[in-house]
């Protein structure tokens, strides 16, 4: 099948077709075209060898195309079953038959080993489970061509294996899968065909056999990329951030952080490994003051900041890279420049006598864009015009730009392409060596392992183990994340 | 470059113009249906608004409160707050302002006028801040609370002026047979700036308010704060902005402007207050802010338009003897076409710009404040 | 619609008379409306050569302006309605001695020679209607659904009505409710008025006096719906509410339209009177309306009693006990 | 005590509460359908006023109440369609188009009342008949309250359940809520967001139009300018207060009319001489207190107020 931007992409039945590309390359947009969400200006799509007109998702679904969007397309207040059957409800005389919906979903999840509780509300689910729901949605609609846009970002190694199993069974049954990811290892493992995009164009078509990760990386970014992080052993200094016996509740007043204690010292990176939804966000929010601590203490350089407002904590040198960039990291409607100085908007040099100093702001923003290689037209454009990955880089640039004492970095490279990952990782290490204390929260085990000096595993709101990164090995941590007793 | 120019010309001149024309055309249909002659009606409307003796001055008189009210609501919208309470804040502002106005005596006007003005704005601020406070700390929806507070404000004013159970109100003027407050002190009355008309210094105050509010929103950190909160509370909070504080402050400023409208009406026109001083301003204010797309500069022409319609309506009725409600139909059809340039583009078959969403009230509904 | 034209060709001079309403507008089914009836009556009277026009005020800052609009159009006379226009009318009268002004339901301590204040003794028709109600009630409970307490005429009606009822029937238990101030709904909340009537009927009332524009009219509708008796106000409402005919025992009439038409006539005939012009039973400015369908149901003795009270009120040997 | 009860007259009190709650509930149900699909409807007041006018106008011309009732509903749907065209198709801010409709309604009804109805002297067709349901209406307390009403009030009682069922049990309701929470997600599920929103907005017009008929056709038997007296906004409050659920809106409306009636009785029956203004404040203050205290946050449908634009 073909799509515009002069992009040619051919997917064979029974194959897994990996789609790689730097941020903003146009992967999601291309897939949105295939799924009928974005209408192409020119070009055509052939399906089963004959040209088809995909005016909207209805058409795509009818043709048997399913898509799992990275920004989930779920409706939080509705139940799992309701989300799955939505649009193709199991109903009699217009009345939804919930029992049959539940049964159908149960059968489906049993068949593919995707465990979900059809009665639960999606808003109460961890991101990993939401991912399963998304996949079930596509399968329920009988997708023969399944598009997965960066599906593995939020899964445990075990869940990823499970996903790959599903992908293999699907393709074995003659279905086709388009797999978008920024993780080359996955590509090597699962893909039959690989298409690499850059700046909206296809720059290469290959197979795992023909090319190594490094080659793929070069194709994507247009330059050689170091896939491993070069770093010296840490030389930890004095303790900067300390969390004592912290208890935090989530929005539904459930215990989310369960008597957690940890300490980060200047010049070290403490990694928090764990599947999303095990209290990471609540922990982070409590540290920066976005969520009240039910009990326990948060200390910055020995000073108790547990009851201080967020603003105060930021002033004292806490930096935050939030997990959800679009809800806590950036303001899509505001110019890129404003987003780049967001946490300092009301301090000199950006402010004088309550008046904002636009020249200073612009030049500061342009500097950051330069150093962090954010792909933009102008710092005056709304941040919403950036691709997901570039939005992420914007947040990273801002937080490192303010030279904090401790950086709380939650999923800092989510959705970011290899080139930028390399860059962000190197930045984090240099800042560490310059004495920055980093609390790195990530569901990417590789990221933790390659960056962290010490690793704490968070499961169900408790720290189940703290290991030295040197002798921590993958499978063990994976098991701990999945809840296997330490 | 040329295509850019053309596009600019279309979107900034042709479309708005066509919108107004279309609005008046639809209004004309209503006039015909009401059994009057649209040409005569519009002729009278125009004469009554601009060309009759003192007509333009009177139009400006009606424009003054519209400007201040429109600015207040626009400011609220920019922070995602839908302040339906302008009318109530108008009442309270007039009330507190007039109290100071008639209590002080013999001071020079450059003291008395600011004193009364500030009192009025403080009143409006406080009244609106109630709704802001309730939203910020209990999550009570400002649409509910500000509607309710409108009724309460009126009843407060009514109680203080009209009194109850046959007893006169505490703010009622002694030895006048109508329930109204005493006249404000001479020094607190806004001077007439066009001799022989009712046009008073309030016009200048309104004209100054426009750039001030624009500057506040677009150029100051306070304005940035309220826009950030309006767009995305989650990110604003994570950036250390106190959402609750911002909401109260924004509601307050918005109310202060409405209060200013109230006291300026009193100091400039009647010089005393009755319990119907705000009647009929509440919804016009909303319409004006919306017409202006919540942009302070846009408030000026929108308010002038409404001032002209309001003022010309009297003469139009004198000439046509059609119900005074006719003007509402004209207002509505104007708003439709001005607020939806897309319609006009579509009518004119202009394909340059695609239909763009015009989100004026940046309400962030999903995340409550805490 | 409108009231343009209507002047016969025989007119040497056409008198232009303008009316400015308060924010209750013409649709108040009360004094704004009645005054306009009077204006139209004058206009359609060929002997008067009057051309009338009205401007409804949409906000109180319009009062002075709307008066001025008529002045600019060289109107000979301007009729304003209600105490809300008191100040604006006086000022305009002082500034324009050549133009005649009449204001309804308002008086001044001192008048310029071109200004007349038309007031009506609402307590008298109220007293008479109450007296009749006192005679006709079987439950000895009567209710009054009233407009704003802050509007003196309303209070005069209500107090007159209750005093009249007690006068003919000491056992009577009158219940009244004044509409809470609301701004927008003042004199214009019929549904509320209706519910109040139902409440009174729940308390045993069998006669409802509706006194307060559309709010009071709601009371009449409630009474009619429950098959009770009702008393209209201001005009002979029997004529205006055909669907309520079976409930009207009478109406307490305040002939604003007569007052307005008389004032206009005075202007035209050159017999202009300035100052307070009070209308009462003596000069037929107020009246007790006809009994209509109840005429047969009211005993001769009762009718006699009412007649007697009326004469006593006229010659002043009986007072309504209402201090205006 | 008995004297007190006799004065309070609880049965008639509750029955009046229920009757006066009718337009509030109907409009609130309308607003609910609308907002559950993601479209704010601040135009309830205007739609009710239009329904009240057109309903009576048609009833007056045809001298047929039932045609009038139909006309009230249809006119509500028509004016709501304008709201849909503006806010769904042309992406006009939903508050703008709602406000436009409110202003327009005042104008149109005022002008045409003046032109065609004010001076009409022929009688209208009266009001909808009271239907005492056989047997039910003779149940002691409940009978007079629930089963001796007029059509619009009965309809209100039934529609509470109907709307609840539609919103929470049917395919349509599921899709409606989906569009109100996350239209983009709904579209990816193959739902036509525009269609769903159109239908719901128009449905809200039907409900609010019926609410308008309450005034002119059920209670008063004629039209009077602005006879809805701002109840559309109270209904909006009741809807939010009731957390966008039919049952909640119903209770909220009763709280409002209840405190209103209580205030009146204090003056008229118990002849308590507190200033009338304070009695008048009662419902409003009470609503504020309850909304702020008891209920706390009202979580609106996530996407409400936001025009949805296909990319
Ligand atoms: N709906 C849209 N409207 C305007 N621009 C868009 C839209 N969607 C994407 N873009 C722009 O098109 C380019 C491609 O975006 P896209 O998301 O497809 O890139 P991507 O390959 O998915 O990047 P990432 O790896 O960060 O997801 C980006 O520059 C983005 O800003
Ligand atoms: N309507 C739009 N206008 C402008 N930019 C848009 C629009 N829609 C999407 N974009 C930008 O294009 C990017 C790609 O869109 P999309 O949401 O598909 O990203 P994604 O690749 O699915 O998610 P990720 O952020 O993980 O890459 C978005 O992150 C957003 O920044
Ligand atoms: Mg993407
Ligand atoms: Mg992406």
Residue D307 in domain: no
Coil, helix or strand for D16?
helix
Choose between A140 and B6: higher pLDDT: A140
Q: Which two tokens stand for residue C166?
A: 């007690």
- Tell me the sheet residues that pair with A204: A196
The beta-strand segments (E) located in chain D are: 130-132, 148-150
| Mean pLDDT, residues C275-296 | 95
Q: How far apart are the C-alpha atoms of B246 and D281, rounded to whole Å?
A: 29
Give C262: exposed, middle or buried? Use CB within 10 Å, 0-12, 13-18, 19+.
buried
From residue A65, give the alpha-carbon distance in Å to each of A114, A164, A379, B14, C276: 20, 19, 37, 45, 88
How do beta strands C229-234 and C248-254 pair? parallel
Q: Is the pLDDT of residue C143 over 60?
A: yes
Q: Are the Cβ atoms of B134 and D288 closer than 8 angstroms?
A: yes
CB contacts of D298 in chain B (<8 Å) are 139-141
Q: Is the pLDDT of residue A437 over 90?
A: yes
Q: Is the pLDDT of residue B355 over 50?
A: no
Residue D308 in domain: no
pLDDT at A50: 79
Residue D310 in domain: no
Coil, helix or strand for C87?
helix
Confidence band for D204, pLDDT divided at 50, 70 and 90: very high
pLDDT at A486: 52
Q: Are the Cβ atoms of A328 and B222 closer than 8 angstroms?
A: no
| Mean pLDDT, residues B95-106 | 96
Q: Is the pLDDT of residue A398 over 60?
A: yes
pLDDT at D4: 83
Q: Are the Cβ atoms of C87 and B324 closer than 8 angstroms?
A: no
pLDDT at B351: 52
Q: How far apart are the C-alpha atoms of C116 and C99, rounded to whole Å?
A: 12
Q: Is the peptide bond before A75 cis (omega within 30 degrees of 0)?
A: no
| Mean pLDDT, residues D203-218 | 98
Number of helices (H), then strands (E), belonging to chain D: the values are: 13, 2
Of B277, B252, B253, B251, nearest to B264 (Cα)? B277
Q: Are the Cβ atoms of A57 and D188 closer than 8 angstroms?
A: yes
Largest CA-CA distance found in chain D, in angstroms, rounded: 69
pLDDT at A43: 73
| Mean pLDDT, residues D233-258 | 92
Are A253 and A383 a contacting pair, CB within 8 Å? no
For residue A233, give the DSSP letter.
P
Choose between D2 and C212: higher pLDDT: C212
pLDDT at C184: 75
CA of A450 to the centre of ligand 4 (A): 23
Which residue of chain B comes nearest to C150, CA vs CA?
B162
Confidence band for C2, pLDDT divided at 50, 70 and 90: very low
Interface test with C, best of D13, D22, D268, D271 (most C CBs within 10 A): D268
Which residue of chain A comes nearest to B236, CA vs CA?
A328
**Span of A34-48, B352-366, C21-35 with lowest mean pLDDT:** B352-366
Q: Is the pLDDT of residue A253 over 90?
A: no
Are B71 and B260 a contacting pair, CB within 8 Å? no
Q: Which two tokens stand for residue B244?
A: 């609750």
CA distance A480 to chain B (A): 31
Q: Is the pLDDT of residue B7 over 80?
A: no
CB contacts of B354 in chain A (<8 Å) are none
* Total-model pTM: 0.88
Q: Are the Cβ atoms of C243 and D267 closer than 8 angstroms?
A: no
Ligand 1 atom with the smallest distance to the CA of A70 is 27
Q: Is the pLDDT of residue D292 over 60?
A: yes
Confidence band for A485, pLDDT divided at 50, 70 and 90: low
Assess D158–B contact: CB distance below 8 Å, yes or no.
no
Q: Which domain holds residue D252?
A: 7-119+149-294
Q: Is the pLDDT of residue D70 over 80?
A: yes
Number of compact structural domains in chain D: 1
CA of B79 to the centre of ligand 1 (A): 28
> Given ligand 2 and candidates A36, A71, A334, which is best to mutate, with the most ligand atoms within 8 Å of its CB?
A71
Are D261 and D16 a contacting pair, CB within 8 Å? yes
CA of A228 to the centre of ligand 4 (A): 22
CA of A29 to the centre of ligand 2 (A): 8
Tens-digit pLDDT profile for residues C80-118? 999 899 999 999 999 999 999 999 999 999 999 999 999
Q: Is the pLDDT of residue C296 over 50?
A: yes
Residue D129 in domain: no
Interface test with D, best of C202, C223, C245, C246 (most D CBs within 10 A): C202
CA of A24 to the centre of ligand 1 (A): 5
Q: Is the pLDDT of residue D107 over 60?
A: yes
Give B175: exposed, middle or buried? Use CB within 10 Å, 0-12, 13-18, 19+.
exposed
Q: How far apart are the C-alpha atoms of B330 and B317, rounded to whole Å?
A: 13
Are A33 and A3 a contacting pair, CB within 8 Å? yes
pLDDT above 90: percentage of residues in chain B: 61
Q: Other CB atoms closer than 10 Å to residue D16's CB: what's the count?
A: 24
Q: Do chains B and A touch (3 or more CB pairs under 8 A)?
A: yes
Confidence band for B51, pLDDT divided at 50, 70 and 90: very high
D311 CB within 6 A, ligand 2: yes
A390 CB within 6 A, ligand 2: no
As for the ipTM of the complex, it is 0.85
Confidence band for A8, pLDDT divided at 50, 70 and 90: confident
Q: How far apart are the C-alpha atoms of A366 and A343, rounded to whole Å?
A: 17
Assess D9–C contact: CB distance below 8 Å, yes or no.
yes
Are A3 and A164 a contacting pair, CB within 8 Å? no
pLDDT at C4: 45
A385 CB within 6 A, ligand 2: yes
Q: Is the pLDDT of residue B271 over 80?
A: yes
pLDDT at B370: 24
Which residue of chain D comes nearest to C192, CA vs CA?
D20
Q: Are the Cβ atoms of C107 and B52 closer than 8 angstroms?
A: no
Tens-digit pLDDT profile for residues B118-177? 999 999 999 999 999 999 988 888 877 888 899 999 999 999 998 887 788 899 998 777
Residue D131 in domain: no
What CATH number should be reported for the domain holding residue D183?
1.10.3470
Assess A35–D contact: CB distance below 8 Å, yes or no.
yes
Q: Is the pLDDT of residue A160 over 80?
A: yes
Of D136, D142, D131, D138, nearest to D18 (Cα)? D142
Q: Is the pLDDT of residue A423 over 90?
A: no
CA distance A369 to chain D (A): 27
Which residue of chain B comes nearest to D42, CA vs CA?
B143
CB contacts of C66 in chain B (<8 Å) are 314
Residue D130 in domain: no
pLDDT at D92: 85
Mean pLDDT of chain C: 92
Tens-digit pLDDT profile for residues A274-330? 887 789 999 999 999 999 999 999 999 999 999 999 999 999 999 999 988 888 999
Q: Enumerate residues 6+ apart whose C-beta is below 8 A from A202.
A: A7, A8, A9, A195, A196
pLDDT at D213: 98
pLDDT at D83: 96
Which residue of chain A comes nearest to D192, CA vs CA?
A58
Q: How far apart are the C-alpha atoms of A400 and C164, rounded to whole Å?
A: 87
Choose between A205 and C10: higher pLDDT: A205
From residue D8, give the alpha-carbon distance in Å to each of B363, C175, C201, D20, D147: 44, 14, 13, 17, 21
Tens-digit pLDDT profile for residues B287-327? 898 888 889 999 999 999 999 999 999 999 999 998 889 99
| Domain ranges for chain B | 61-304
Domains by residue range for chain A, with CATH: 2-221 (3.40.50.300), 239-481 (3.40.50.300)
């Amino acid at each position: 099948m073909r799509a515009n931007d002069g992009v040619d992409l051919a997917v064979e039945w029974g194959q897994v077709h990996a789609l790689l590309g730097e941020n903003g390359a146009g992967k999601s947009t291309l897939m949105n075209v295939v799924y009928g969400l974005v209408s192409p200006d020119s070009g055509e799509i052939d399906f089963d060898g004959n040209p088809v007109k995909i005016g909207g998702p209805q058409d795509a679904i009818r043709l048997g195309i399913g898509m799992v969007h990275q920004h989930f397309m779920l409706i939080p207040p509705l139940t799992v079953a309701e989300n799955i059957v939505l649009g193709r409800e199991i109903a009699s005389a217009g009345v939804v038959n919930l029992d049959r919906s539940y049964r159908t979903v149960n059968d489906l999840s049993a068949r593919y080993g995707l465990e979900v509780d059809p009665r639960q509300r999606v808003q109460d689910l961890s991101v990993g489970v939401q991912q399963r729901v998304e996949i079930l949605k596509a399968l329920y609609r009988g997708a023969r061509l399944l598009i997965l846009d960066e599906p593995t970002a939020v899964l445990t190694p075990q869940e990823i294996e499970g996903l790959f199993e599903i992908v293999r069974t699907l393709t074995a049954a003659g279905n086709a899968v388009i797999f978008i990811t920024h993780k080359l290892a996955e590509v090597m493992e699962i893909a039959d065909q690989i298409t690499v995009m850059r700046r909206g164009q296809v720059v290469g078509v290959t197979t795992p056999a023909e090319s190594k990760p490094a080659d793929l990386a070069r194709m994507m970014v247009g330059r050689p990329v170091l896939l491993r992080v070069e770093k010296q052993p840490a030389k930890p200094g004095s303790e900067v951030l300390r969390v004592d016996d912290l208890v935090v509740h989530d929005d539904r007043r459930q215990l989310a952080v369960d008597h957690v204690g940890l300490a980060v010292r200047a010049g070290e990176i403490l990694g928090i490994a764990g599947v999303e939804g095990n209290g990471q966000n609540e922990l982070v929010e409590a540290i920066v003051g976005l969520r009240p601590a039910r009990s326990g203490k948060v200390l910055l350089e020995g000073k108790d900041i547990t009851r201080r407002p967020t603003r105060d904590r930021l002033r004292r040198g806490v930096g935050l890279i939030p997990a959800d960039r679009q809800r806590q990291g950036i303001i899509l409607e505001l110019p890129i420049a404003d987003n780049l100085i967001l946490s300092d908007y009301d301090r000199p040099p950006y402010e004088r006598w309550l008046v904002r100093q636009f020249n200073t702001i612009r030049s500061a923003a342009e500097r950051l864009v330069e150093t962090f290689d954010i792909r933009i037209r102008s710092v005056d454009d709304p941040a919403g015009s950036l691709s997901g990955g570039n939005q992420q880089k914007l947040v990273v640039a801002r937080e490192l730009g303010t030279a904090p004492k401790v950086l709380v970095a939650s999923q800092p490279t989510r959705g970011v392409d290899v080139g930028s990952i390399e860059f962000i990782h190197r930045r984090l290490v240099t800042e560490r060596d310059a004495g920055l204390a980093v609390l790195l929260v990530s569901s990417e085990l590789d990221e933790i392992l390659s960056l962290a000096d010490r690793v704490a595993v968070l499961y169900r709101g408790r720290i189940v183990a703290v290991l030295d990164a040197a002798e921590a090995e993958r499978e063990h941590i994976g098991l701990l994340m999945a809840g296997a007793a330490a | 470059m040329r295509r850019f120019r053309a596009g600019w010309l279309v979107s900034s001149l042709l479309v708005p113009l066509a919108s107004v024309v279309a609005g008046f055309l639809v209004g004309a249909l209503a006039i015909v249906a009401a059994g009057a002659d649209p040409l005569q009606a519009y002729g009278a409307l125009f004469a009554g608004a601009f060309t009759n003796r003192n007509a333009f001055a009177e139009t400006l008189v009606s424009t003054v409160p519209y400007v201040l009210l429109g600015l207040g609501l626009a400011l609220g919208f920019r922070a995602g707050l839908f302040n339906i309470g302008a009318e109530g804040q108008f009442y309270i502002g007039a009330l507190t302002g007039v109290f100071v106005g008639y209590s002080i005596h013999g001071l020079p006007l450059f003291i008395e006028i600011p004193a009364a003005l500030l009192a009025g704005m403080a009143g409006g601020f406080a009244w609106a801040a109630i709704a802001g406070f309730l939203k910020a700390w209990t999550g009570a929806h400002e649409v509910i609370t500000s509607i309710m507070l409108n009724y309460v404000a009126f009843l407060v004013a009514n109680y203080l002026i009209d009194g109850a159970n046959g007893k006169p109100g505490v703010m009622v003027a002694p030895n006048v047979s109508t329930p109204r407050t005493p006249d404000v002190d001479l020094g607190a009355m806004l001077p007439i700036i066009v001799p022989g008309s009712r046009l008073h210094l309030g016009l200048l105050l309104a004209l100054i308010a426009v750039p001030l509010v624009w500057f506040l929103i677009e150029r100051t950190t306070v304005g940035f704060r309220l826009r950030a909160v309006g767009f995305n509370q989650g990110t604003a909070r994570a950036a250390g902005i106190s959402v609750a504080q911002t909401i109260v402050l924004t509601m307050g400023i918005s109310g202060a402007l409405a209060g200013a409208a109230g006291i300026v009406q009193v100091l400039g026109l009647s010089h005393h207050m009755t319990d119907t001083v705000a009647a009929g301003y509440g919804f016009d204010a909303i319409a004006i802010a919306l017409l202006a797309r919540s942009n302070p500069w846009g408030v000026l022409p929108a308010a002038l338009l409404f001032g002209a319609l309001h003022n010309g309506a009297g003469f139009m009725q004198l000439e046509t003897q059609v119900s005074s409600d006719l003007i509402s139909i004209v207002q509505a059809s104007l708003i439709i076409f001005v607020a939806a340039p897309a319609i006009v583009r579509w009518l004119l078959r202009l394909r340059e710009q695609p239909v763009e969403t015009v989100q004026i009230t940046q309400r962030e509904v999903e995340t409550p404040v805490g | 619609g409108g009231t343009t034209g209507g002047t016969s060709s025989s007119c040497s001079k056409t008198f232009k008379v303008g009316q400015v309403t308060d924010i209750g507008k013409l649709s108040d089914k009360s004094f704004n409306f009645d005054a306009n009836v009077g204006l139209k009556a004058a206009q359609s009277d060929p002997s008067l050569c009057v051309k009338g026009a009205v401007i409804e005020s949409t906000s109180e800052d319009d009062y002075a302006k709307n008066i001025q609009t008529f002045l600019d159009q060289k109107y000979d006379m301007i009729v304003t309605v209600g105490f809300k226009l008191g100040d604006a009318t006086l000022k305009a009268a002082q500034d324009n001695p050549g133009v005649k002004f009449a204001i309804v339901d308002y008086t001044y301590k001192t008048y310029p020679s071109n200004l007349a204040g038309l007031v009506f003794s609402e307590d008298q028709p109220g007293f008479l209607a109450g007296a009749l109600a006192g005679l006709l009630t079987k439950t000895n409970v009567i209710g009054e659904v009233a407009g704003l307490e802050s509007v003196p005429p309303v209070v005069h009606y209500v107090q007159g009505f209750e005093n009249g009822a007690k006068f003919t029937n000491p056992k009577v238990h009158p219940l009244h409710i004044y509409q809470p101030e609301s701004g927008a709904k003042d004199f214009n909340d019929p549904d509320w008025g209706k519910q109040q009537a139902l409440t009174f009927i729940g308390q045993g009332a069998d006669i409802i006096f509706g006194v307060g524009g559309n709010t009071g009219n709601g009371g009449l509708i409630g009474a009619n719906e429950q098959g009770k008796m009702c008393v209209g106000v201001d005009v002979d409402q029997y004529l205006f509410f055909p669907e309520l005919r079976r409930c009207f025992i009478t109406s307490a009439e305040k002939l604003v339209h007569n007052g307005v038409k008389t004032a206009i006539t005075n202007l035209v005939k050159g017999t202009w009177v300035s100052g307070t012009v009070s209308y009462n039973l003596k000069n037929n400015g107020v009246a007790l309306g006809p009994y209509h369908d109840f005429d047969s149901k009211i005993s001769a003795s009762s009718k006699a009693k009412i007649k007697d009270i009326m004469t006593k009120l006229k010659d002043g040997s009986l007072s309504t006990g209402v201090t205006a | 005590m008995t004297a007190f009860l006799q004065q309070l007259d609880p049965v008639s009190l509750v029955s009046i509460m229920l009757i006066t709650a009718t337009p509030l509930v109907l409009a609130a149900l309308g607003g609910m359908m609308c907002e559950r699909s993601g479209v704010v409807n601040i135009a309830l007041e205007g739609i009710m006023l239009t329904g009240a006018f057109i309903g009576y106008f048609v009833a007056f011309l045809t001298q047929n109440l039932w045609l009038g009732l139909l006309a009230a509903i249809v006119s509500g749907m028509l004016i709501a369609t304008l709201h849909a065209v503006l806010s769904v198709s042309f992406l006009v801010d939903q508050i703008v188009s709602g406000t436009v409709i409110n202003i327009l309604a005042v104008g149109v009804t005022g002008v045409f009342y003046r032109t065609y109805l004010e001076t009409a002297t022929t009688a209208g067709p009266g009001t909808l008949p009271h239907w005492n349901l056989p047997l039910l209406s003779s149940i002691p307390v409940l009978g007079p309250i629930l089963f001796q009403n007029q059509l619009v009030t009965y309809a209100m009682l039934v529609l509470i359940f109907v709307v609840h069922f539609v919103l929470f049990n049917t395919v349509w309701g599921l899709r409606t809520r989906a569009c109100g929470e996350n239209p983009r997600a709904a579209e990816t599920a193959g739902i036509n967001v525009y269609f769903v929103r159109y239908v719901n907005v128009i449905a809200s017009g039907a409900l609010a139009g019926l609410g308008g008929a309450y005034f002119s056709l059920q209670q008063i038997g004629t039209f009077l300018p602005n006879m809805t007296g701002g109840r559309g906004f109270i209904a909006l409050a009741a809807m939010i207060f009731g957390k966008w659920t039919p049952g909640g809106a119903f209770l909220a409306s009763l709280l409002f009319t209840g405190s209103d009636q209580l205030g009146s009785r204090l003056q008229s029956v118990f002849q308590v001489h507190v200033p009338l203004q304070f009695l008048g404040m009662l419902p409003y203050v009470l609503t504020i207190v309850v909304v702020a205290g008891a209920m706390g946050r009202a979580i609106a449908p996530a996407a409400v107020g936001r025009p949805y634009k296909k990319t």
